[in-house]
Structure 1
Amino acid sequence: MTTKLRGKSAIVGTGHAGFGEAHGLTAYDVMAQSALAALGDAGLKLSDVDGLLCTMMEDSMPALMAAEYLGIQPRFIDGTMTGGSSFVNYLTSATMALEAGLCDVALIVYGSNQRTASGRLVTASRPPAYEAPYNPRYPISAYAMAAARHMHEFGTTREQLADVAVAARAWAQHNPEAFERGPLSRADVLGARMVGDPLTVRDCCLVTDGGGAIVMVRADRARDFPKAPVYVLGSAAESSHRQISQMKDFTVTAARESGARAFAAAGVSPSDIQAVELYDAFTINTILFLEDLGFCAKGEGGAFVEGGRIAPGGVLPVNTNGGGLSCVHPGMYGIFTVIEAARQIRGDAPGIQLKDVDLALAHGNGGVLSSQVTAILGSQNTL
């Protein structure tokens, strides 16, 4: 996104459905319920939607299936699949489509029944032939390699990784929507079952059902809706590889590039951000993204998150809903980073509501640290 698109679109509705366990519902049921919730939040109907942006985990043409299920025939459609980062990336696509007049109401939507349908983590991809002989447990093995390398190169400790999970749980304990709200200590994380050294099961995201939806319009209409609009100030994407064996440096992600361009488009810096919503599929993600997005120097992420510094009352509010580690993670989490960032700016977060949030960051991750997308959202005061 360029500076020409700064503040040209706004989020006017958010919604979700099926958090945790959506027994008896299909993924498209959850998707549709999320869409209706977001449209209701915006005071709109399905018949108002003429732009649809969607991907799902179990269909080769999910955007077409979603349109058919919802009973709409959108003028603009985007089903680009970059994993969990897709939904943050759709903010740029929707903004361009709205600004070009290709649609007037854009609906970004996702749904999954991953937990109740299978009861285990299922990925749609298989490792390539030159990785398969090593029997990787995807995607955990890939992220474990990144964590191990970060520990080796910078002295990051398992205790610091655990502090990421503990902080996420501390936020989730205040959020009635979060799937996991019980107590969690550093010792609990370290003593949990090892699933991919150095990551224990508590270093890994949840496996839940759930769906989310976002309604966007052009900025000139944004103040005509019931809720305070949240403006897209800047967003950018960067992809570095597909499979982890092709990642040049396990300690540096493409968030370094996506973040820099998103900040430049928005005209702000990391020190201006009041709420940070990151795709925390694993505890190492949070450390890597805080470094690569410029909140701390490379190699200092472990120390940055230590001892509650990103928990409630810490120096930087990170994953204020509990994140994918404690709130919800239905296969892909990216859309929920945007929803929580928007809610913090609107002032209606279901958990801890931060005071007077004007700027929030949402960051999506796709594949195995493969696709990175950063978005800066702002209130009316930032225009």
Structure 2
Amino acid sequence: METGDFPRGKTAFVGHATHGMGEAHGYSSMDLMVISALKALDCAGLTPGDVDAVFTGHPNDYLNQMTFIQQLGINPRYMDNNRTGGSAFLVHAFAAAHLLASGAIDVALIAYGSNQRTEGGKLIQSIKPSPYVGPFRPMIPLSAYALAASRHMHEYGTTAEQQAEVAVAARKWANLNPDAFMHGQNLSIEDCLAARPISTPLRKTDCCLVTDGGAAVVIVRADRARDLADRPAYLLGAGQCVTHNEIYMMPDMTVTGAKWPGKRAFAAAGLGPSDVDVVELYDAFTINTILFLEDLGFCAKGEGGAFVSDGQIAPGGALPVNTDGGGLSCVHPGMYGLFTMVEAIT
């Protein structure tokens, strides 16, 4: 498998932080980004003046990288606010690794923040449906994932109970995480099946939370990592892929774009799914977890429902998945991808 010459192990995460998880009354989205960034830098023993590359995300400021560096009082050599939805921060890490390995930059800071819960109480919908689907008034992205779930159920017999297993596993992990928004609130399969329908076949418990939260990570070259962290988290492999934007252009609603970059990332790392002890996935909806586990090779296509059943991805199961509670039960401030990295690093 071609790896794209990814700089295996040449970069490492040396700092990470979150702030305002759940509800952050009185804080703006930019506040949450800046505070998380300062905490992550402090974790690495660095200051804003050490940063020469900034990668950011923000729910409604498309020049947020400029506002962010202004707040930090720095003048980086490189900045980026590439938006690919919740996966943007993993794309940022991919780019940062190449830039660091090339010597173009020395310290990369990736940060995000959103106060969508306390500011408005609902998901900030930045994606507008095209004229072809707009008249049907879909709830984007919810209705898109509902279509994917429907198709997976039709083709492979995946059940509502199996999707509920994903939500219940996430809640069990959240109950082990004091920072999780749903910590201390139990959830059963029966609760999920009785939950209010939102976009058929998805119910409320199949859907991610709406919370506030900020997160940040710091990445440097491996030769410097040991001086900044007791246990650096080395980046061994990464990949990215684009297959479509809107759901009706998806070549196969049961196959996500994770399939191809996942293979490249594993190949770059010299590892395979059987070598993985813990998996952190973007679980905006329960069907995501099932699709991603299949597409990343942890089980065959169509077997994801059975794979997550009987507590197999919950605490004590065969494969721990989303160990902070995920977007379903820990935190989901509009875009969750950076929180998967923070949890994996931690």
Same fold? TM cut 0.5 = yes
Partner of 1:276, secondary structure, is: coil
Structure 1 Cα separation of the partners of residues 68 and 319 of structure 2: 37
Structure 2 Cα separation of the partners of residues 88 and 82 of structure 1: 9
User: Partner residue of 1:75?
Assistant: 77
Deviation, structure 1 residue 3: 4.3
CA contact (8 A) 1:42 1:227 kept: no
User: Partner residue of 2:126?
Assistant: 124
Partner of 1:15, secondary structure, is: strand
User: Partner residue of 1:138?
Assistant: 140
The alignment status of 1:230 with 2:233, answered yes or no, reads yes
Match 2:92 to one of 90, 93, 108: 90
Structure 1 Cα separation of the partners of residues 46 and 40 of structure 2: 9
CA contact (8 A) 1:3 1:266 kept: no
Q: Give the TM-score normalised by structure 1.
A: 0.88
User: Partner residue of 2:174?
Assistant: 172
Structure 2 Cα separation of the partners of residues 107 and 28 of structure 1: 15
The alignment status of 1:24 with 2:50, answered yes or no, reads no
User: Partner residue of 1:354?
Assistant: none
The alignment status of 1:260 with 2:269, answered yes or no, reads no
Q: How high is the sequence identity, in percent, across the aligned residues?
A: 57
User: Partner residue of 1:186?
Assistant: 189
Aligned length: 343
Deviation, structure 1 residue 227: 3.1
CA contact (8 A) 1:15 1:37 kept: yes
Match 1:334 to one of 333, 337, 340: 337
Structure 2 Cα separation of the partners of residues 209 and 11 of structure 1: 24
User: Partner residue of 1:311?
Assistant: 314
Per-residue displacement from partner, 1:162-205 (whole Å, max 9, x unpaired)?
Answer: 00000000000010110002100001111111001111111000
User: Partner residue of 1:286?
Assistant: 289
User: Partner residue of 1:361?
Assistant: none
AA in 2 matched with 1:340:
E
Structure 1 Cα separation of the partners of residues 144 and 39 of structure 2: 35
Deviation, structure 1 residue 50: 1.0
User: Partner residue of 1:211?
Assistant: 214
Partner of 1:111, secondary structure, is: strand
Partner of 2:83, secondary structure, is: coil
Per-residue displacement from partner, 1:203-227 (whole Å, max 9, x unpaired)?
Answer: 0000000011000100110100143
Structure 1 Cα separation of the partners of residues 62 and 36 of structure 2: 21
**Where does structure 1 differ by over 4 angstroms across 4 or more consecutive aligned residues?**
none
The alignment status of 1:47 with 2:49, answered yes or no, reads yes
Structure 1 Cα separation of the partners of residues 251 and 4 of structure 2: 28
Partner of 2:218, secondary structure, is: strand
CA contact (8 A) 1:3 1:234 kept: no
Partner of 1:277, secondary structure, is: coil
Structure 2 Cα separation of the partners of residues 2 and 219 of structure 1: 19
Structure 2 Cα separation of the partners of residues 21 and 209 of structure 1: 5
User: Partner residue of 2:68?
Assistant: 66
AA in 2 matched with 1:148:
S
CA RMSD of aligned residues (A): 0.9
